[in-house]
A and B are shown apart, each in its own frame.
Chain A
Amino acid sequence: MSTTMWFQSYWPGMKADVGGKAASLGEMTGAGLPVPPGFAITTGGYRRAHDEADLDATLARLLHGLNTEDTDMVSRVCSEVRDAIRTMPLPGEVEAEIRRSYDELCRMADTVNLPVAVRSSATSEDSPDASFAGEHDTYLWVRGGDDVVDAVRRCWASLFTDRATCYRVVMGYEHRSVEMAVVVQKMVRPKSAGVAFTLNPSDGDRSVVAIDSAWGFGEGVVSGEITPDNFLVDKVLFEVSKRNVSTKESEFVLTDHDTVEKVDCDAAKASEPSLTDDEIKAIARLARSAERHYGSPQDIEWAVDLDLPDGENIILLQARPETVWSKKAPQRITEGQNPSDFMASIVSTLVNPLHARKK
C-alpha cells in the first residue's frame, strides 16, 4: 500500500485503506464533482509510522492497567499517549511522501505554503470506532510541510481521545489494531461563492439551474446577510437565460488570523457581477453533474477558487437533496388532454396563444 492516494486515483477497493471521508471525496472527484483537490495518507502510512516508532510498546507501557473509571487517570494517560504520537519520528519515506504530495498540491495551486485542511478519515465505519469519527480532529489553514506533517500526527493522535480509548478498553478491542487515514485538502480561497439549485426555486422548472452568488466566502449567501447576484442557466444548452446583478454591499473574507469575517465591499466591485459567464456555465454544469450523480434535484454550495487555474477553479463544497419542489407531485403538462390529439392542441394554441395567457 502506498503512503498517499490522490483523490482522483481512488477506486472502491481502496476504501478500507483511506477511510470514509477520503473515499467519499475520491468518489466525488471520480464522478466529475470537483471537491477541493487533495490526497489521503493511507492507513499503510500510519502503520509504517506506528511500526517504526514501535508504538505498540509505548501503548502497552502507558495504557497498562488503565482504570476507565478514574477520569483523572484516563485524562493524564491518554494525553501522554497522544503526546507520544504527536512527537514520534516518522519513517523517512513516509514523511518524504507526505511532503512531496503537499508540494505537488502547492504546485497545482501555484502557491507557496498553500493553506490546507488536515482531517482524520475513519477507516472502519462498520465498527464502533465510527461513532467517534466526529471526535477525530480537523485542522484548518495549515501552511507548510512541517505543519502539515505535524497536523497529520495530531490526527493520528486523535485515535486516543479519552472517550475512544476507554471505549476500546471496555469493549476489549486492541489499541494496536486501530488505524487511521488522514485527508489533506486544499483550503478554498473563494473569489466568489454561493449556492445553486438544479431547478428554478420560484416556479419549479427543472430545465434550469438557479445560482445565487456573492463575492468572497459563501457564508453571506447561505445566511441571507448579503443579497446575491442571481442567474438562471438552461441545463441543456447552458445558456444564461436570466441575470440579476445586485449591489453586494459587503463580502466575507479571510482575516489575518484565519477567520472569516464580513467587511464592506468596495463600491465599484459591489455592483459588478460576481461571476463571469464562463463561471456561471461551469457552476451550472457542476450542479447538473451532482443532480445526475445523486439521481434527484440538488441544492449545492460551490466556490470559485482564486488559487486554481481556469477550468479547475469551480469547487463543490456540499450537495444535498432539494426538498421543496422535489416533494410535490409533478404536474402533467397535458393534464386533461389526449396527448395524441394534436389538432385539439393546435386549436387551443391558436385560440389562447401563450404570450397572452395569464402567468
Chain B
Amino acid sequence: MTERFPSPFEVPSPEGASDWTSLYPYGLVFSEDRKDYEDSVFWFQDGMHWPDPLPPWDASIIDLAFGALSQYNSRVFIVPPANGLSVRLLNGYVYLSPVPADPADIEKRAGMFMERAGYYFMNWNDLYDKWMLKVRALVGRLEAIEIEPLPDFEDFSVVQEGHGKTSGFDLYKAYNDLLTAVAEIWNYHFEFLNLGYAAYLDFFGFCKTAWPNIPDLAIAKMVAGVEVDLFRPDEELKRLARLAKESGVADAFGSGDVETTCETLKGSEAGRAWIASFEESAEPWFNFSTGSGFYHKDKIWIENVEVPFDFIKNYIDKLNKGEDIARPLEAIHAERDRIVAEYTELLASDEDREAFQGKLGLARVVFPYVENHNFYVEHWTHSVIWRKMRAIGSVFVKESFIEQPDDIFYMHRGEVHDAITDLYTSWAAPEPARGPKYWPPIIKQRRAMVEACKKQKPPPALGTPPEVITEPFTVMLWGVTSESVDGWLGAADNADGSLKGMSASPGVVEGVARVIFSPDQIAEVQEGEILVAPLTAPSWAPIFGKIAATVTDTGGMMSHAAIVCREYGLPAVTGTSFATSTISTGDRIRVDGNTGVVTKID
C-alpha cells in the first residue's frame, strides 16, 4: 500500500471560508477543469515563503514569480531534468509541484543547457553588473510613479502643454505599471538564481563525494561571501548604534519610545546629524521587511521606525556593556581560507584538487547573487510596491470604495484594475461609482475568510509522493527530501517525541523555548531563549545576538533564514514541520544542530 497525502480535492474548506476560491484569480486554485493533472502529481506546501493564508492581492506575486522561475528552466536555459513548478492555492496556502522534463529529452536538453547556461557562467560578473543596473532602474521607475487623488478639474498645464491625457488615465497607468513591475522584478529574480544553485549543488556534490561526512556548514563556509548585501541593513544598525554612542546621543534611546527619542535627538546638533545619518542608511537599506517580504502586512523598517530603533537600542546596550558588535571580517576571511586549505590538503590527487578549486571558484562567482538578490527583490522592490499599492488604497478610501488603505489587498489583481476603471470612468462622467456600495461588504467578508483559513492547519503535502524526490531545487531551497516527506507521513509522533529536521547550523543547546508566529512578536524574545517559529526572516538578524538556537517548521539548508543563522554561529534545525505545533513557549528543549533533532526535556 502506498502511503499518500490527501488529494487536493479531499481537503475540506475551512469553516466560514467555504467560498475561499473567490479570493484568488481563477488560474491559481485547484479546479475540476484540471483535476486529471492536479490529482496525478505531488504537491508540497511552501510555508517557508508563505506561512499564512494569502490575502487576495498578495497572491498576485505568486503566479508571476513561479512563472518567472519556471520559464528560465523550461524556455531559457533548458535545465536538462527539470522544468518549472506548478503553483496552486488551497484554503489560502501555497502548494508547489515540480514539473519534470521528459526523460527522453534529457540528452537533447543537456546540449542546449551547456551552451546557454555555460554562457551565463562564463559571463557571470558582466551579466550581474547589468542585472544590478536593471534592478536599480526598475526601483527608480517604481519610486517615480505618482499616485494622486483625482482632481475636480485638471490643472491648466494639461491644456497648455498638450498632455493629451488626464489624472484618471495616470492612475489607471500607475496601477498597470505597478503590475508590470511585479512581473519584471520577478523575471530578474530568477535570471540567475537557478543557475547559481546548480553551480553550488555541483560543488556540494563534489565535497560530499570526496568527504561523505563533511558538515554542510563547512561547504557553505567555503563558498559564503564575507561582505554580503543581505547583512548590510544589520551592519547599518550597528554603525548607527556606534555613531549614537560616539556623538553622545545614545541616551536619547533610553525612553524606548520613538517619538520621545526623535524629539530628544532633534534638540541637539549631534542628534540632528544622527537623524540625517539614519536617513542616509534608510535608503535603500531599511527597505527591509520583518517577514519574508511576501505579505503586505509584513512590517518594513523604513515605515516602522520603532523596529530599527529597538534594534539600535539593543546594540547601544551591548556597546555600553563593553561588547564588541562588529563582524570580525579579517577573522572570517582567515577562517574561510583555513577551511579551504585543510580540505584541499585532504585530497589525494592533482586532478581532484584542480576540480575542487574550479568548482569552488565557480560557486564563489555565483554565490553573491544567491545571497544578495533577496535584499533587492523581496525587500527593497517589494517595499516600494507595497507602499505604492497603499497609496492607491488611500485614493480608494478618499472615494469611499474601501474603509482603510490596506483594504485594497483584499481585492485581487484584476479586481483592482476593475475598481480603478470604475473610479476613473465615474469621475469622468461624473456619475456615482459602483465601488462604494460594491466593495465594503465584500472586503469585510474576505477579511473574515482569510482569518477563517488561518484556523485550519494546511496539510504539509497533497497527493502521492514520488519514490525519490529528485528535483534539485526543491531539495536545496525548500528542504523537501524523500526523508522529510516520510517524516510528514509519520506526523509528529516519533516514539520519543523528538522532531527531525535539517541540520542547518551546528551546535547543541538546551534551553527554554519561545514560540512566535509573526514578526510582531519579536519583542517577546528574551535573552538566551531558543527561538521556535514557522520560519525566520533575514531581517530578524539583530535578535540572533540574543537567542541560543533556532528551530523552524520550514526551510532547507540554503533558505534565506539558514544563511543568517550560520552567520551568527547559532545551532539551527530547520524544516521540522511540526515545531510550532508541538512545542510551547516555556518548554525546555534540546536543539542538536549537528543531527537535526529537537527534543523536549521534562
Contacts and interface: CB of A to CB of B under 8 A. Distances in A.
A125 interface: no
Contact of B214 (A234, A333, A337): A234
A342 B209 CA distance: 16
Nearest to B593: A239
B343 A343 contact: no
Contact of A350 (B81, B217, B346, B469): B81
B472 A350 contact: yes
A205 to B, nearest CB: 5
B200 to A, nearest CB: 10
A330 B349 contact: yes
B211 A206 contact: yes
- Counting contact residues on chain A (CB < 8 A from B), the size range is 35 or more
A355 B481 contact: yes
B210 A241 contact: no
A353 B472 contact: yes
Nearest to A329: B348
A350 B29 CA distance: 30
A208 B202 CA distance: 22
B79 interface: yes
Given A236-B342, A237-B218, A241-B215, A350 B79 contact: yes
A87 interface: no
B131 interface: no
A206 B348 CA distance: 10
B472 A205 contact: no
B348 to A, nearest CB: 3
Interface stretch (B109-117, B150-158, B161-169, B234-242): B109-117
A200 B213 contact: yes
A246 B319 CA distance: 46
Given A240-B594, A347-B114, A349-B202, A200 B212 contact: yes
B82 interface: yes
A259 interface: no
Interface string B64-103: 0000000000000001111000000000000000000000
A354 B213 contact: no
A340 B470 contact: no
Contacts of B212: 200, 203, 205
Contacts of B294: none
Contacts of A340: 354-355, 358
A350 B80 contact: yes
A243 interface: yes
B351 A334 contact: yes
Interface string A321-358: 00000000011111001011011111101110111100
A173 B343 CA distance: 55
A263 to B, nearest CB: 30
Interface in A219-238: 232, 234-237
Interface in B212-250: 212-215, 217-218, 221
B145 interface: no
Contacts of A232: 213
Contact of B202 (A240, A333, A345): A345
B362 to A, nearest CB: 6
B205 interface: yes
